[in-house]
């Protein structure tokens, strides 16, 4: 923590096992329990900030792949519907010619 940051007192409830582990980690790293907790919180935020762009890129690629699949699906259905409409149009033209020829 930098010297210019204001410190805030915080009452925190932790599971006893977690407190014990943090206490042990603090003693092996030469930090106080508070120092260990601040260190780990700051590190987790830095790690999250660094991982966030990579995770976001991976998420965007997944969305792009899904959208590509959706586009292909709708394109295939659109093409089938268009062929059906064209066939109906041709059938109606034939029927119209038959009706005209009868008259």
The pLDDT value recorded for residue 2 is 53
Residue 3 pLDDT exceeds 60: no
Each residue's pLDDT tens digit, 28-64? 999 999 999 999 988 888 776 676 777 778 888 999 9
Helices (H), the chain: 16-29, 33-102
Average pLDDT rounded to a whole number, residues 14-23: 92
The pLDDT value recorded for residue 48 is 67
Average pLDDT rounded to a whole number, residues 13-26: 92
CA–CA separation, 5 and 36 (whole Å): 17
The pLDDT value recorded for residue 58 is 85
Average pLDDT over the chain reads 87
7 and 1 Cβ atoms separated by less than 8 Å: yes
pTM, 2 dp:
0.44
| Of 5-14, 51-60, 63-72, highest mean pLDDT | 63-72
């Amino acid at each position: 923590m930098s010297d210019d940051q204001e410190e805030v007192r915080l009452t925190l409830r932790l599971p006893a096992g977690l407190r014990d582990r943090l206490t042990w980690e603090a003693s092996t790293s030469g930090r106080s329990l508070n120092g260990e907790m601040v260190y780990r919180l700051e590190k987790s935020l830095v790690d999250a900030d660094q991982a966030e762009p990579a995770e976001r890129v991976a998420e965007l690629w997944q969305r792009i792949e899904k959208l590509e699949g959706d586009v292909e699906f709708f394109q295939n259905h659109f093409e089938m519907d268009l062929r059906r409409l064209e066939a109906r149009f041709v059938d109606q033209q034939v029927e119209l010619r038959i009706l005209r020829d009868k008259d």
